[in-house]
């Protein structure tokens, strides 16, 4: 009877050991998967940061080029006004037209700034969407 009880205990211990070996293997596999996901997440984060840096650099370049173009237009416009002034034909322009010209100048500057901010907002929205996508893929 004692031998049978001992054999039963040994059998149960062997079953528990086998079960624990399986559990340990599963935990090890899960740990490896988590490490792989963490590595991919880090790589994707670095990639997103680099992409953001490149996008910001492109926006800076675009801003400088657009400012140069606007400056050229402004210089041309000022040269023509000076030419008209030198010919005294500017005296024929009414006060309302002078105000309209000034408003056009201000609007041109505002449009340039608004374009820059709109592009920056688009970049921020894209970053936010990409970050949410990465986080949601990590959660899954």
pLDDT in tens, the chain (140 residues): 778 888 888 998 888 888 888 888 888 899 898 898 888 888 888 888 888 888 888 877 877 777 677 778 777 877 887 777 676 655 666 677 777 778 878 877 777 777 777 788 888 888 888 888 888 887 66
Domain containing 75 equals 2-139
Place of tokens 């070996």: 21
Confirm whether pTM is higher than 0.85.
no
Give me the number of domains the chain comprises. Answer: 1
The Cα 55–Cα 1 span in angstroms is 80
Supply the Cα-derived Rg of the chain in whole angstroms.
Answer: 35
């Amino acid at each position: 009877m004692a031998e049978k009880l001992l054999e039963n205990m040994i059998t149960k211990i062997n079953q528990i050991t086998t079960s624990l070996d399986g559990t340990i293997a599963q935990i090890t596999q899960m740990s490896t998967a988590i490490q792989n996901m963490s590595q991919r997440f880090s790589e994707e984060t670095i990639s997103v940061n680099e992409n953001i840096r490149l996008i910001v650099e492109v926006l800076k370049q675009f801003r400088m080029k657009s400012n140069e173009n606007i400056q050229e237009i402004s210089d041309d416009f000022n040269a023509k006004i000076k030419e008209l002034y030198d010919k005294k034909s500017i005296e024929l322009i009414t006060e309302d037209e002078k105000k309209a010209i000034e408003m056009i100048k201000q609007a041109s500057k505002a449009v340039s700034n608004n374009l820059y901010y709109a592009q920056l907002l688009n970049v921020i929205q894209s970053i936010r969407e990409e970050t949410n996508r990465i986080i949601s893929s990590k959660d899954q």
